[in-house]
Amino acid sequence: MSTRTGLDLSRYLNPDQVAAATHGEGPQLVLAGAGSGKTRVITYRVAWLVEERGVEPYAITAVTFTNKAAAEMRGRVEDLLGLYPLPTFVGTFHRWALIALRRYGERVNLAPDFAILDSDDQIKLVKEALALEGLPEKSFTPRTVLAAISGAKNKLLGPDAFEAQADNYFARKVAVLYRRYQGLLGKASGVDFDDMISLSVRLMEREPEVHERLQQRARYLLVDEFQDTNHAQLALIRLLAGDGGNLTAVGDEDQGIYRWRGAELDNILRFEHGFPGATVRKLERNYRSTQTILDASGGLIAHNEGRRGKTLWTDRGTGDAVELYKAADEADEARWVVNTLQGLRPQYELSQMAILVRTNAQTRALEEELLRQEVSYVLVGGTRFYARAEIKDVVAYLRVLRNPRDEISLLRILNQPPRGIGRTTQDQLLDEAARRGQLVWDLLDLGELGSFSSRAGRALTAFRDLIVRLQRAAEELPLPALLERLLEETGYAGLYDKDDPDGQARLENLRELVSAAQEMTEAVEAGATGGVHSASGDELTAFLDHVSLVADIDAWESDRGVSLMTLHSAKGLEFPVVAVAGLEDGLLPHFNAQGGREDVEEERRLLYVGMTRAEDRLFLSCCRRRRIAGRYQDQLESPFLAELPAELLEVSQSPSLFADGRTSSVYSFFGKERESSGRGTTSFGERVAQRIAEEQSEAVRRGSRVRHPSLGEGTVLDLEGAGDMEKYVVFFDKAGKRKLLARYANLEVVEGR
């Protein structure tokens, strides 16, 4: 098919891709298997709509989940259409919501200069809510409370609706905290990421005129990674698309790995129910992996019930077998993995290799071995640049310059760097503001500090004057110059010792922040954000919005060595060589899965995602034992290994596996049995399998309602440790929070999560 620009789609797309890209009116679901070129389909569909169907670019909206994916997609569309900047919206859900709320937020009671709170800010508010309600953090851990609030928002449940559904003591208290948390958010003129979606839904539901305007900008709506959408995002999509709208949803149910943060797989499994008359297409040709890798991963994922089903194929050839190594322990595993990668260095660069693990804790042994063999590597998912303390401090200053009523940011920098405003003075300041019914900044700005000691009054006045000076500078200086002035006047420029490695790293981080500001300034000068030339206008707001929306994987650098990351972080990436380590029961599937079908299927999808990152070579490994909390623990291999087609595997094991006395007490891990003194002829493996079956039948999980013989009923808050040292953290309705050793807990499950 040719477009008016002479673009022959058949030269760039296969027949299935062409059909998806040239879909006419109405909804369609494109089931895009791993490595099947879904981004190409989306970008060519946008180009086809503009050039062939004559659709105005501003009437097309494309949303995805990460800034990295959005930037790649946007760049491809700009290249195809030759439009710079592109009038089409291409970005994340939150970027779309941010634009809508900046423009129309006052209609849902949002201040024009609202702040976007990050996770640290949210935790602070939860802690403040706990203090105001007189509830102990030991019983109501802030992250657990925040997760419950986030889950409610993702289901579009406000505090009242959440409270109406609360059916136990813990949930009822969370409902109270939820209401208090929202009040504190409003006081700080802030929203969190969940609010951005729910407020956008509320905006369109309450304001028909705004709804119509936003729909006009999404007459053709394209949604990437549809399997990762939650209830609130689906509601947003339905409002934008309307009845029978031109929605193209692209996704893969086999790569749905975010159920734990609210994603609902049913959104893609039951797509036709939500969008009647939808056309469903499959992309099954894979351009990434060898057929052996596709068949091995396909054999694994076929065991999932919650899927539509696809059979991936490629013309890249059969390729090498998948290698599986059974190691004695994590040190042996690490040696094998690193030695294997070293052996491939004549054919591949280090940056073409990745080691994937289920949990961050698994990286220690691998990092030590990489260092021992002097192999360069990058740990993906460490502390994010914008989450580092010194960066958060300076960004908080910028937020206060834009909006001094942002009390969360104001209190963060009040004594940072230290300027003699201690905790006592801060508490007095908060109390005085509350007594007067004012915000902290109002108190400072009016200079009503007579109740403070002369020393504290001088320090508070100096802080106020500093902020006022910097606000004036923001009206005159571009953002990079403002940042340099800020670093000088606050003292950050000379705060850290250049001869100390940590101090040097912090200084480099601050310099990098100035570089980021410079990039924003260049974008402004190019006309991308309105052409302002001082930091007082859209430039500062745009920069702070950018800081709020950046995700860790966006800052990933692939050219520094072997990539070491979790399976979740690897989503969307690809490497010629991939090693997946730690394929043991309790790690993958993770022990938190607790045997529930949906949980185990998500863990299986996670391994599938890891395996399909590999282009040429795939290596798997597991350990006979692993050190956990300082003690060695016998491990069972992952049940997923038995689901891989045996004919596609080359299996080897550590030569010292049974020679080492420390590992010779249990043989069942590799299918061998041994009599145990005083226990008859029952193998250890049979006993473990029996115990696991008994535990899984009870399914004690986070959120489960349980009953204890003497403590009564309660809610499982957390699970800690593993093996014989596993503990249940339970909040009992009458006895409060208790930790119980799992093997002696004697809990009866009343209802599941």
Q: Which residues are catalytic?
A: 38-39, 224-225, 255, 613
Distance between CA atoms of residues 471 and 468, nearest Å: 5
The answer to whether the beta carbons of residues 578 and 610 sit under 8 Å apart is yes
Q: Which residues contact 564 (CB under 8 A, 6 or more apart)?
A: 354, 355, 357, 363, 366, 367, 370, 377, 378, 379, 380
What single-letter DSSP state applies at residue 654?
Answer: -
Distance between CA atoms of residues 311 and 302, nearest Å: 9
Q: Is 134 left (phi over 0), alpha (psi -120 to 50) or beta?
A: left
Helices (H), 353-388: 363-372
The answer to whether the beta carbons of residues 253 and 308 sit under 8 Å apart is yes
Q: Which of 408, 391, 342 is nearest to 516 (CA)?
A: 391
The answer to whether the beta carbons of residues 407 and 121 sit under 8 Å apart is no
What single-letter DSSP state applies at residue 590?
Answer: B
The answer to whether the beta carbons of residues 215 and 192 sit under 8 Å apart is no
Q: Starting at the edge strand that comes first in sequence, how are the strands of the sheet with 377-379 ordered? A: 377-379, 562-566, 353-357, 575-580, 614-623, 322-327, 649-653
Q: Which residues pair with residue 565 across a beta bridge?
A: 356
**b/e per residue 239-267 (b: at least 16 CB within 10 A):** bbbeeebbbbbbbbbbbbbbbeebbbbeb
∠263-22-257 over CA atoms, to 5°?
Answer: 15
Parallel/antiparallel/unpaired status of strands 220-223 and 246-251? parallel
Q: State the amino acid at position 66 in one-letter form.
A: T
Q: CB-hemisphere CA count at 13 Å for 651?
A: 11
Q: Which residues contact 611 (CB under 8 A, 6 or more apart)?
A: 293, 296, 297, 300, 578, 580, 618
* Other residues' Cβ atoms within 10 Å of the Cβ of residue 680: 7
Q: Is 343 helix (H, G, I), strand (E, B) or coil?
A: helix
Distance between CA atoms of residues 184 and 6, nearest Å: 57
The answer to whether the beta carbons of residues 684 and 672 sit under 8 Å apart is no
The answer to whether the beta carbons of residues 521 and 480 sit under 8 Å apart is yes
Assigned token pair, 459: 């320090």
Distance between CA atoms of residues 417 and 708, nearest Å: 50
* Other residues' Cβ atoms within 10 Å of the Cβ of residue 591: 15
- The full DSSP string for 295-311 is HHHHHHHTT-SS-----
Q: Which residues contact 349 (CB under 8 A, 6 or more apart)?
A: none
**In the block, which residue shows the tokens 């934008």?**
240
